[in-house]
């Protein structure tokens, strides 16, 4: 039996080497150099090429190499096997650190000072008053972010598909709760999973009911947001700024208007990149579980989409 690593956009030497050490005697092959597809029983997958899973006839389990499984579930020839995702405290910490940096960037007006520098303008200003943060999505990453900002003294509201109880977070849920959760926010952080129910969730109707001058941060998936509505909200001043780490198409096409927009800060999907060190044990453990016929850890509910 073989493990296949199907992760086209990353160098895999390190993962391959460490997984071989954790699972001595197990054959591990890197896609597309899979010598005997019929021997592959376990696949570690991230943004898999179309049909790369379909011909693995002995596949017993899929381990997603990240937190979000939308790209795996979008595969129309996905074999019907259990899927696990990465849930890892260090991934949450990485995300929280990224968000903390972005919120500080706006609080300290570094976006404005950068623009002033380009115009050789010396105009001191105190920090922005940002006191209310809304976190959309209260899963592993969303809950960690909400709790972090609440501990820093922000008033935090959160929104999820179903009711969630989190200390000191004003939690809202369901379609009706979305506008209430975001209505008073100075900053809206999007950490929702991408599912058929959340695709294009954030359109004009959402942005229009925000407080004027809110700041929007998307670290979840580009397809949650209607790009045109986001640009419109920035151009009308409804939003004063947006920080985007994720896009409908990645890399973001050169001609996309986001690149040149003065109020948009772009980072290339780096908010929480899976660290090999942090996840080796989880992947090796799930491989052993699937070989023993036991349920993997952090199983995805395919119906729900995350």
Task: Give the interface with ligand OXD as residue ranges (CB under 6 A).
Answer: 66-68, 272, 274
Q: Which residue is nearest to ligand OXD (CB)?
A: 66
- Minimum CB distance to ligand OXD, residue 79 (Å): 21
Cβ nearer to ligand OXD, comparing 45 with 233: 45
d(CA 223, CA 89): 26
> CA-CA distance, 90 to 96, in Å (whole number)?
10
Query: Dihedral of CA 211/215/221/222: which sign?
Result: positive
Identity of the residue, 247 or 287, whose beta carbon is nearer to ligand OXD in the bound complex: 247
Instruction: Please name the residue that has the structure tokens 């800060």.
Output: 265
Nearest to 298 by CA among 90, 62, 26: 62
Q: Which of 85, 128, 161, 269 is catalytic?
A: 269
Under DSSP, the state recorded for 111 is H
Residues 184, 211 contacting (CB under 8 angstroms): yes
* DSSP conformation letters of 16-64: HHHHHHHSTT-EEEETT--S-GGGEEEEEESSPPTTTTTT-TT--EEEE
* Closest distance to ligand OXD from the beta carbon of 191 (Å): 10
Q: What is the rounded CA–CA span in Å between residue 261 and residue 294?
A: 50
Looking at the Cβ atoms of 71 and 81, the one nearer to ligand OXD is: 71
Closer residue to ligand OXD, CB minimum distance, 70 or 186: 70
Helix (H) or strand (E) holding 292: helix 276-292
Closer to ligand OXD at the Cβ: 34 or 45?
A: 45
Nearest approach, Cβ of residue 274 and ligand OXD (Å): 6
269 flagged as catalytic: yes
Catalytic member of 10, 221, 261, 292: 221
* Shortest distance, position 68 Cβ to ligand OXD, whole Å: 3
Residues 45, 134: Cα–Cα separation, whole Å: 32
Q: Which of 123, 128, 86, 124 is nearest to 107 (CA)?
A: 128
CB of 124 to ligand OXD, least distance (A): 38
Give catalytic status of residue 221 as yes or no.
yes
- Residues annotated as catalytic (active site), given as ranges: 221, 269
């Amino acid at each position: 039996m073989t493990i296949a690593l199907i992760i086209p956009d990353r160098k895999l030497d390190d993962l391959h080497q460490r997984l071989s050490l954790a699972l001595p005697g197990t054959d591990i092959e890197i896609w597309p150099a899979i010598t005997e597809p019929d021997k592959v029983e376990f696949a570690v997958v991230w943004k898999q090429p179309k049909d790369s899973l379909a011909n693995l006839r002995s596949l017993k389990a899929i381990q997603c190499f990240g937190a979000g499984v939308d790209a795996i579930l979008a595969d129309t020839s996905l074999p019907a096997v259990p899927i696990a995702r990465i849930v890892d405290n260090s991934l949450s910490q990485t995300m929280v650190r990224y968000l903390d940096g972005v919120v500080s960037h706006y609080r300290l007006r570094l976006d404005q000072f950068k623009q002033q520098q380009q115009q050789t303008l010396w105009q001191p200003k105190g920090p922005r008053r940002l006191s209310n943060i809304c976190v959309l999505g209260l899963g592993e990453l969303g809950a960690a972010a909400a709790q972090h900002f609440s501990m820093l003294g922000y008033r935090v509201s959160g929104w999820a598909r179903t009711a969630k109880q989190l200390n000191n977070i004003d939690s809202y849920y369901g379609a009706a709760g979305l506008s209430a959760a975001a209505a008073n926010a100075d900053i809206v952080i999007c950490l929702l999973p991408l599912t058929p129910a959340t695709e294009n969730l954030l359109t004009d109707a959402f942005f229009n009911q925000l407080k004027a001058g809110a700041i929007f941060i998307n670290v979840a998936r580009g397809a949650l947001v209607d790009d045109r509505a986001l640009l419109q909200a920035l151009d009308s001043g409804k939003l004063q700024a947006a920080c985007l780490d994720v896009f409908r198409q990645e890399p973001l096409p050169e001609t996309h208007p986001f690149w040149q927009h003065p109020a948009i800060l772009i980072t290339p999907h780096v908010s929480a990149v899976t660290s090999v060190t942090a996840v080796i044990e989880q992947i090796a453990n799930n491989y052993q579980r699937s070989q023993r016929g036991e349920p993997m850890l952090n199983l995805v509910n395919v119906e729900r989409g995350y």
